[in-house]
Structure formats: structure tokens, C-alpha cells
């Protein structure tokens, strides 16, 4: 009886930022990717809201958070980034 060994290697890349343009500014997310060998490329496996950028109207940001299912309290706990601080 022959046995075989199958090894799966997963390499998770450092998060990069992704911005969603919404009324009142931008929501900033850290994006996690993972290499998929069978595709030969990186794929997005998740993202986490980490802050805001280019805010012109906090009411618009609040509405965008609610629409996306984020707690609106994030407005009080997450930072506002400058364009230089956000790596796309």
C-alpha cells in the first residue's frame, strides 16, 4: 500500500489598504490576501475597517457605516487618516 504526502503552503501577505468612497469621505480597510497556487495569484480573503480618510461630512460616514453593517460607534474609536498614511 503506497502512501502519499500532500503539503499545502499558505502565504498570507501583509495587509494593504482599500478605500471605499462614500457620502462624506472614505472608509479605509485593511485587506488580507492569500496566494492560491491553482490560480497562480493572490486573492482577497478578508478586510477589516480600520478608519476614515478625506472626511467632509460625518453624517454621511455614519450612514455609510450603518448601510454596511458596521457599528456607527466606529466613528468615535477609529482614526482619521491622511492620504499619506493610507497605502493603497
Q: What is the pLDDT of residue 68?
A: 94
The tens digit of pLDDT for each residue in 38-64 reads 988 888 888 999 999 999 999 999 999
The tens digit of pLDDT for each residue in 13-44 reads 455 789 999 999 999 999 888 888 898 888 88
Residue 6 has pLDDT above 50, yes or no: no
Give the CB-side neighbour count of residue 16, counting CA atoms within 13 A: 11
5, 34 contact by CB (below 8 A): no
For 52-79, what is the mean pLDDT?
A: 96
Q: What is the pLDDT of residue 81?
A: 93
**Measured CA distances, 42 to 12, 16, 82 (Å):** 9, 12, 27
Residue 76 has pLDDT above 60, yes or no: yes
Domain ranges for the chain: 16-85
Other C-beta atoms lying within 10 Å of the C-beta of residue 36: 12
Grid cell 454596511 in the structure block, residue: 68
Cell of 54: 478625506
Amino acid at each position: 500500500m503506497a502512501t502519499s504526502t500532500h503539503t499545502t503552503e499558505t502565504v498570507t501577505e501583509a495587509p494593504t489598504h482599500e478605500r471605499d468612497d462614500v457620502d462624506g469621505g472614505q472608509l479605509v480597510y485593511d485587506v488580507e490576501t492569500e496566494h492560491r497556487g491553482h490560480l497562480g495569484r493572490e486573492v482577497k480573503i478578508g478586510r477589516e475597517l480600520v478608519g476614515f480618510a478625506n472626511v467632509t461630512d460625518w453624517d454621511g460616514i455614519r450612514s455609510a457605516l450603518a448601510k454596511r453593517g458596521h457599528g456607527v460607534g466606529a466613528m468615535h474609536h477609529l482614526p482619521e487618516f491622511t492620504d499619506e498614511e493610507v497605502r493603497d
